[in-house]
């Protein structure tokens, strides 16, 4: 049963569990493999090799249109963290957990954005920026502007970018066929992590005090955790909109070792306005065998295939211990809400300023740490640590 107990040991909701490996590995890096071929370059495996590749993209007319000045080696957006490729590349220096950006060792939390690895990563990116390898628009453009760069109708101009899924950059545009999702790029000391966060339940099934028949309501919520009921809720009518896949059916994500378990029959109703399924707004139970179990639809422009193909290259590049979702009490949440918001805004802004040189990573790092403390970092971490220990029993 999917009921979850809150921090006061009272039961409040029936949850949605929808596991998908590509969401756990939600920050992906996409590199133009056609440009590598054009310039007779090998796939880079270290940050230094990647930097050399980006220099070649910048200088050697990688798209072959006769204009060596129209290529953008590395672009992205700050509209969300997984659209900013620097978070992926930070794995060459330290581990990035997109859930609160906490690292954990022996049960003790540390904010990644205060570590020495983070500082070294920012210094490395500053040097890349000075060489015009990082698009200045990365820090100001929105997703639509990024898409316009990635979906040019004439010559492709982007060497690399980042996203959770290819749909965020390309949609079904044929430009995606030139790109490949990479594994991590090892930093100077051999560190080679990829961003990763563990899945967590979402609580979206509730029975209020005004419910006329709470027993019947609970039976309905309990039904949503039946496997076939969950499939109907998520994908529509069995035998019409989807069907179970016979053993041996090619999977969309075979490259990452994920066999097919079901096949979509009406993929056109999976987007847009329809009245056949509830998407992910109901409690349900769909584990990895479903989330990763799409049958191959044979469409070369399926953006999910681009994302899942990257996972085989990303797996195994995470720490043994990863901080999971923390359950805070109402008092704890109220205590840290403003502090967390201010700290998050500041370190994100400082990250940009360090990279573009408006803050000096060599002389202002200590001042940056001091400002985080002035904003309440120690209080925030004390509350987070207590809640983490209580939540995970460590």
* Residue 12 pLDDT: 63
* Residue 344 pLDDT: 98
CATH number, position 172: 3.40.190.10
Tokens of residue 357, six digits: 């040189």
CA distance 174 to 70: 20
Q: How confident is the model at residue 394 (pLDDT cuts 50, 70, 90)?
A: low
Interval 164-170 mean pLDDT: 89
Domain containing 68 equals: 26-195+326-394
Q: Is residue 321 included in any domain, yes or no?
A: no
Number of domains in the chain: 2
pLDDT at 145 over 80: yes
Q: How confident is the model at residue 4 (pLDDT cuts 50, 70, 90)?
A: very low
Least Cα distance to 200 among 13, 333, 327, 336 occurs for: 327
Domain finish residue from 282, 314, 346: 314
pLDDT digits (tens, 9 = 90+) for 174-204: 999 999 999 999 999 999 999 999 988 888 8
Question: Is residue 305 packed enough to be buried (19+ CB in 10 Å), middle (13-18) or exposed (0-12)?
Answer: buried
Residues 183 and 330 in one domain: yes
Percent of the chain past pLDDT 90, that is, above it, reads: 76
Pick from 158-162, 221-225, 253-257: least confident: 253-257
Q: Is residue 319 included in any domain, yes or no?
A: no
Average pLDDT taken over every residue of the chain? 92
Q: Is residue 320 included in any domain, yes or no?
A: no
Q: Is residue 40 included in any domain, yes or no?
A: yes
pLDDT at 9 over 50: no
Residues 267 and 208 in one domain: yes
Residues 171 and 305 in one domain: no
Residues 255 and 108 in one domain: no
Residues 232 and 274 in one domain: yes
Residues 238 and 146 in one domain: no
Residues 295 and 213 in one domain: yes
Domain finish residue from 261, 285, 314: 314
Residues 280 and 343 in one domain: no
Tokens of residue 221, six digits: 């919520």
Question: Is residue 354 packed enough to be buried (19+ CB in 10 Å), middle (13-18) or exposed (0-12)?
Answer: buried
- Please name the residues in contact with 177: beta carbons below 8 A apart, sequence gap of 6 or more: 300, 301
Residues 46 and 112 in one domain: yes
Interval 265-278 mean pLDDT: 80
Residues 258 and 373 in one domain: no
* Residue 10 pLDDT: 55
Residues 332 and 227 in one domain: no
Domain finish residue from 314, 338, 365: 314
CA dihedral 244, 247, 250, 252 (to 10 degrees): 50
Residues 181 and 54 in one domain: yes
- Quickly tell me which residue has 């207590």 as its tokens: 386
């Amino acid at each position: 049963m999917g009921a979850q107990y809150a921090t006061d040991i009272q039961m409040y909701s029936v949850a949605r569990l929808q596991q998908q490996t590509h969401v756990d590995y939600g920050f992906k890096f996409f590199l133009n493999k056609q440009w590598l071929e054009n310039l007779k370059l090998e796939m880079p495996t270290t940050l230094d090799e990647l930097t050399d590749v980006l220099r070649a993209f910048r200088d050697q007319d990688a798209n072959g249109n006769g204009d060596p000045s129209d290529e953008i080696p590395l672009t992205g957006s700050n509209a969300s963290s997984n659209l900013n490729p620097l978070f992926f590349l930070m794995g060459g220096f330290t581990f990035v957990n997109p859930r609160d950006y906490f690292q954990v060792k022996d049960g003790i939390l540390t904010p990644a954005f205060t570590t020495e690895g983070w500082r070294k990563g920012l210094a490395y990116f500053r040097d890349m920026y000075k060489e015009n390898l990082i698009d200045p628009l990365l820090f100001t453009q929105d997703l639509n502007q990024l898409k316009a760069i990635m979906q040019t109708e004439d010559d492709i101009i982007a060497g690399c970018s980042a996203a959770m899924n290819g749909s965020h950059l390309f949609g079904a545009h044929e430009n995606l066929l030139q790109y490949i999702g990479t594994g991590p790029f090892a930093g100077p000391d051999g560190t080679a992590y990829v961003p990763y966060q563990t899945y967590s339940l979402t609580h979206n099934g509730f029975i209020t005090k005004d419910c006329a028949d709470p027993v019947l309501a609970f039976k309905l919520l309990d039904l949503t955790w039946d496997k076939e009921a969950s499939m109907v809720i998520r994908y529509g009518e069995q035998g019409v909109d989807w069907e179970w896949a016979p053993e041996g059916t090619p999977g969309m994500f075979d490259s990452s070792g994920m066999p097919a378990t079901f096949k979509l029959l009406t993929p056109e109703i999976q987007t847009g306005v329809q009245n056949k399924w509830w998407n992910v707004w109901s409690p349900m139970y769909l584990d990895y065998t479903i989330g990763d179990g799409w049958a191959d639809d044979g469409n070369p422009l399926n953006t999910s295939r681009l994302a899942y193909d990257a996972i085989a290259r990303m797996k195994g590049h995470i720490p043994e211990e990863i901080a999971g979702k923390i359950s805070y009490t109402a008092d704890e949440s109220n205590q840290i809400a403003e502090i967390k918001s201010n700290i998050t805004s500041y370190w994100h802004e400082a990250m940009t300023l360090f990279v573009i040189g408006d803050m000096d990573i060599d002389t202002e790092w200590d001042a940056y740490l001091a400002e985080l403390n002035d904003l309440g970092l120690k209080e925030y971490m004390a509350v987070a640590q207590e809640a983490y220990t209580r939540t995970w029993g460590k």
